[in-house]
Amino acid sequence: MEALFFWVFAVVSVVAGVLVITRRNPVTSALWLVVVMFCLAGLFLLLHGFFLAAAQVIVYAGAIMVLFLFVIMLLNLDDVELGAARPTFVKGLSVALAGGLVLLVVAALLAGRPAPVAQPPAAVATPPAAPAAGEPSFGDPEALARLLFTDYLIPFELASVLLLAAMVGAVVLAKRELRP
């Protein structure tokens, strides 16, 4: 099962990556890049990076790509740079692919979970040992947070300062004119 998901995500991410760098229209490129981000989120799930998979979808596919699309729309590039319009059946195919990808991510999420409690205990000879209370397992948000707020507290705080600086810098750069 894990192998199947790996190969699906791998092939789709490579194909989508090729499409990102070959499409004429930046909007099309951005949407294919979202496909790559979703595939990588699925691969993170396979590697037990549960928090990172969620962050990948929220931060990359959600925030960064929306920012990209917003700027692309704002620039209002002319037709020479955008290329010709796409036929309708391609649009339909895109919607179908996006829907299928969402289903895949959800299925990967379910496959990565431990066996449900409702399963009869006789079916599993040796059930996976559940981690003791207070001891988070690999990839849990709790384990990540524990590391982030103990060993890596200073890098974490520096990252927040970096984000603040980037925010101020973006506002300054995007202002039409600078007045003292």
Partner 1 sequence: MIVPSLEHYLVLSAILFVLGAIGVLTRRNGLIMFMSIELMLNAVNLTLVAYSRHLADMAGHILVFMVMTVAAAEAAVGLAIIWAIFRNRTTVNIDELTLMKG
Which residues contact partner 1 by CB under 8 A? Answer: 2-4, 6-7, 10, 13-14, 17-18, 20-21, 23, 26, 29-30, 33, 36-37, 40, 43-44, 46-49, 51-52, 55-56, 59-60, 63-64, 67-68, 71-72, 74-75, 77, 81, 138-139, 143-144, 147-148, 152, 155, 159, 162-163, 165-167, 169-171, 173-174, 176
- Cβ proximity to partner 1, 75 vs 124, nearer residue: 75
CA-to-CA dists, residue 15 to 8, 20, 36, 41, 43, angstroms = 11, 9, 9, 16, 15
Burial of 46 by CB count in 10 Å (0-12 exposed, 13-18 middle, 19+ buried)? Answer: middle
- Cβ proximity to partner 1, 56 vs 101, nearer residue: 56
- Cβ proximity to partner 1, 124 vs 165, nearer residue: 165
Least Å distance, CB 132 to partner 1, is 17
Give me the DSSP letters along 21-82.
HH-SSHHHHHHHHHHHHHHHHHHHHHTT-HHHHHHIIIIIIIIIHHHHHHHHHHHT--HHHH
Write down how long the chain is. Answer: 180
Least Å distance, CB 21 to partner 1, is 3
Least Å distance, CB 92 to partner 1, is 24
Least Å distance, CB 88 to partner 1, is 25
- Cβ proximity to partner 1, 103 vs 178, nearer residue: 178
Q: What angle do CA 139, 144, 149 make, to 5 degrees?
A: 170
Write the DSSP symbol of residue 150. T
Least Å distance, CB 155 to partner 1, is 6
Amino acid at site 60? Y
